Amino acid sequence: MVQAYQQLMEVWPSISPYFNSPTNEEELDDLIELADYLMDQTQGEVNHPLIGLLDIVGTLISDYERTHIPEPKGTPVGCLKYFMREYGLKQKDLTEIGSPGVISEVMSGKRELNKRQIKALSARFGCNPAVFI
């Protein structure tokens, strides 16, 4: 085990920049690029040798996003409109809400989102379901 530690110490100066918590968007983008590469390499194999590295990189990204990128606040429809702008979506793209008529009623405030719709939207946008309540 000591030999493994010594090998790590030898390569650490060249790889350590990839394992610092990001302090700005550019560093975050670099980590996201690394995570994408690692996901391509691991192909979802839980026993892949690089999966632990992917977990570390994912934690660094998550920590940055949690502290620097606030979830939108406001009305459920206001939050949905925010996400639609961010993702370049139109009402017709929100099929998880329901039919075009239902989507229109939700967007106009005539109908509230139900539990199923909230769950689907929070999964789609990777946010806390409370955003849509």
- The pLDDT tens digits of the residues spanning 101-126 come to 999 999 998 999 999 999 999 888 88
Structure tokens at 68: 């620097």
- Write the DSSP assignment of 30-84 as a string of letters: HHHHHHHHHHHHHTT-TT-TTHHHHHHHHHHHHHHHHHHSPPP-S-HHHHHHHHH
Mean pLDDT along residues 64-87? 84
Residues 57, 106, single domain; the answer is: no
pTM of the complete model beyond 0.75: no
Q: What is the pLDDT of residue 37?
A: 92
Write out the two tokens for 114. Answer: 């139900």
Which residues constitute the domain of residue 19? 2-68
pLDDT tens per residue across span 8-64: 889 888 888 878 889 998 998 999 899 999 999 999 888 999 999 999 999 999 888
pLDDT category at 73 given cuts 50, 70, 90 is: low
Pair 48, 104 in one domain: no
Domain end position, chosen among 24, 40, 68: 68
Taking the mean position of all CA atoms in its chain, how far away is CA 67? 13
